[in-house]
Structure 1
């Protein structure tokens, strides 16, 4: 069996197992309250018809994505607009479920010889997608006119591996905290100066509950993505070999001092009855707890600023956003989340060209501004951000600027470029279940639990690496 066939077969087997654990999206959501990590109902639709006849023959391409609810409608609208101005391209956009379901569907379609031209794959599927050997680097198919220097460095750094840009960032996000300005004011806290540290969150939580304005101080989904962000802020890589970017990751650092700071604080918040645990991957539950004012603060993705602002208004309070709190206020930066666009290598040249045109068009400032305003995912182009500033958008909507300022303050280092590892979704599940073990076991010892979590995660790494090496 040749290497390409072996990799394809591996991805179908190992990919399905690896991504069964966690949707793995770093946020996102629709105004209906669900996030783009947990949309599971497939809904598709043709987003356009033939436009133009510059090509000798009309090219039909498919775009598979994981955006549900209002996000899916916005994607459909963007695709329709693209087709309306394109020459000889027909395009169908179909929502294939969650991120993990979209990746599984794509790899199955590649094997069947009928893949989409473009697939949206979540950021932690990057190593798995590369290992599959079935995708072509996006830099090989976009028009030569694309100026990569105009894209945000922190975003491009995640998807550029060994000097090659493998996929095009589309919906990029990072983690921030939302807070209820009215509850802050009622409790005697300054609504214009939210906390910036772990201790600050604890203190604010105590003040909010003592004032009786909320049931618990804060919540966020039990999701390893937040742990990964706090690793980066402390300058700690999650795995060895420069976060798996110099060579394949073989060790994980869940027993590090950085990890202990995170989990000791997180477990302590729960013990003090200040952290509302919504459950593993429970994005919607955490969101609803905050919007219904059961908590005064919420750790979430910047991808949901637009629907969160509307939700807060409907529930009678003003929304505030703050940078991710850190231990002691030390900041090195955050890791991006979200997803990027990949193109299978087996496509015809004509379909690759059409896919490249759409990908380039989608990341132009006009489209990026529209996407940003309708969601909270930040633009991936510097030009788009500059135009929004000139137009006064951020003065009117300062909550949208928090994540961008946080991203701009990020120092380029292995810790902030994000980890690469094949069994990332399985590792995330191990971390999340480890936290549940900490808070449910009365005799818990954070150090001991982290030792077990570290051991299980390294077993997953070893098992995966043996299959691909």
Structure 2
């Protein structure tokens, strides 16, 4: 036993020595007299890009200059355009540039890219002590089910809140006897939206991310939407109970006009008065309008009311966790090491708080999050938007009372998410068009909607979505 103990101790000493030598060797990879360029692709635009670029410049002029690193940050458009650009680069598509050293990515896209071009296992460059500084559930989002390793470093995270035009909501709520509690559940939201439609002929509410709604609805009602396998595959697990809830509290209110979605983003609908409320990303808080333009001559200033994400009355308190992290493409040691140095610097609280507070994202380290430090900074005037401050406050409540959930990446997860985002809303659009056409021919709206939202129609849709989802995943 003593010999065995000595052997274990000796192995530990050797491993520590190897790690130390590896660390020392990496220090010699960089030379300030011969700087290397680290290419970084992201999807930030507008104010987010301005803030990110300023932080990149700060790094290049300080740490980067001292160590011989120049970070070249390039926006690839929106997150979908970025995902396509990275995927094309990984596949070496005609006309595609080489893979960047660092790229922002959601887990679904990172997983499929890693099947083509290997990504860096972060545990090779981040110590366990360094990894422990990140909020655990944020870090876990970057772990792949195939080997249980971390491939995505959290940079800034988000969830979803309920955004409300307070200026219009308060007089309506007072007149009809509603309170903010009625906005805390999906059942209450439908009730409020129905009353608003009957009073005004307009929709009250919209859902910004349809896929998130379905994924979270399933979790709130007790089941994951996907069954995962360690081989990197998954099966679709939409139960009849969850499907019926989605039908009753998503499809049906949209069909009756209680919910509405006409713009690309729900904040666009809030800006022109199409709706009074919507669920949207906390990272989009800055896009909540400060005024509503009903037409060129009728423009009204508004105040934000931001509340925690709604739940089913008999469901669990669960909301989505999302936000692209950063992946490092496996290449030569110098570029990988330089990439890790930048990401470690960027996620330290001073830099990370500056980025988060200006954009509506959550910082990702325990130090920045614990004790509501990010809310204190925002409330002290370090955020440029009242909606961002209100979103941080609502989200802090969610940190304490909700479970934040993210679906795991798997083969076909990118495609199935796109399918969920488009499938039901496309059906709603097509069905509303058919109602409009039949009404032009003197059809009865009530009878048409009753037929389209019937149990028979639900059963047909449930069979269709099950079949299409299973077929999509079998192809991957």
Fold-level similarity (TM above 0.5)? yes
SS of 1:275's equivalent in the other structure is coil
Partner of 2:466: 454
Give distance in 2, aligned partners of 1:363 and 1:239.
31
- Listed as ranges, the gaps of 5+ residues in structure 1 are 1-52, 465-469
Partner of 2:172: 187
Partner of 2:398: 406
Partner of 1:367: 351
SS of 1:334's equivalent in the other structure is strand
Q: Deviations over 1:197-253 (max 9, x none)?
A: 1111012223434554x8211112363122212222233211113xx5x44334202
Instruction: Supply the RMSD in Å over aligned alpha carbons.
Output: 2.8
Q: Residues 330 and 374 of structure 1: is their aligned pair in 2 closer, same or farther, counting only changes over 3 Å?
A: same
Contact 1:178 1:300 in 2 (8 A): yes
Partner of 2:58: 81
SS of 2:325's equivalent in the other structure is strand
Q: Of the two, which has the highest radius of gyration?
A: 2
Partner of 1:229: 216
Q: Name the TM-score, length of structure 2 as normaliser.
A: 0.76
Q: Deviations over 1:125-177 (max 9, x none)?
A: 233133234211233234x4862222122212211234311111223211221
Contact 1:179 1:298 in 2 (8 A): yes
SS of 2:104's equivalent in the other structure is strand
Q: Are 1:463 and 2:458 an aligned pair?
A: no
Contact 1:208 1:296 in 2 (8 A): no
Q: Tell me by how many angstroms 1:392 deviates.
A: 2.7
Q: Tell me by how many angstroms 1:440 deviates.
A: 3.5
Q: Are 1:152 and 2:142 an aligned pair?
A: no
Q: Are 1:424 and 2:413 an aligned pair?
A: yes
Q: Tell me by how many angstroms 1:309 deviates.
A: 6.0
Give distance in 1, aligned partners of 2:280 and 2:343.
27
Give distance in 2, aligned partners of 1:404 and 1:154.
15
Partner of 1:436: 426
Contact 2:222 2:315 in 1 (8 A): no
Partner of 2:70: 90
Q: Tell me by how many angstroms 1:310 deviates.
A: 4.6
SS of 2:324's equivalent in the other structure is strand
Contact 2:360 2:392 in 1 (8 A): yes
Map 1:378-389; keep pairs closer than 5 Å: 378-386=362-370, 389=373
Give distance in 1, aligned partners of 2:316 and 2:159.
14
Contact 1:252 1:458 in 2 (8 A): yes
Q: Tell me by how many angstroms 1:107 deviates.
A: 4.1
Equivalent pairs counted in the alignment come to: 399
Q: Residues 296 and 64 of structure 1: is their aligned pair in 2 closer, same or farther, counting only changes over 3 Å?
A: same
Partner of 1:219: 206
Q: Deviations over 1:364-387 (max 9, x none)?
A: 111221122111111111211237
Q: Tell me by how many angstroms 1:89 deviates.
A: 1.0
Q: Tell me by how many angstroms 1:277 deviates.
A: 2.6
From 260, 268, 272, the counterpart of 1:288:
268
SS of 1:268's equivalent in the other structure is helix
Give distance in 2, aligned partners of 1:194 and 1:399.
19
SS of 1:60's equivalent in the other structure is strand
Partner of 1:254: 238
- Listed as ranges, the gaps of 5+ residues in structure 2 are 1-29, 294-298, 381-388, 432-447
SS of 1:300's equivalent in the other structure is strand
Give distance in 2, aligned partners of 1:296 and 1:289.
8
Partner of 1:18: none
Map 1:295-334; keep pairs closer than 5 Å: 295-308=275-288, 310=290, 315-334=300-319
Partner of 2:150: 165
SS of 2:474's equivalent in the other structure is helix
Q: Residues 457 and 352 of structure 1: is their aligned pair in 2 closer, same or farther, counting only changes over 3 Å?
A: same
Q: Residues 383 and 194 of structure 1: is their aligned pair in 2 closer, same or farther, counting only changes over 3 Å?
A: farther
Q: Tell me by how many angstroms 1:293 deviates.
A: 2.6
Give distance in 1, aligned partners of 2:313 and 2:375.
36
Give distance in 1, aligned partners of 2:173 and 2:375.
35
Partner of 2:192: 204
Q: Name the TM-score, length of structure 1 as normaliser.
A: 0.77
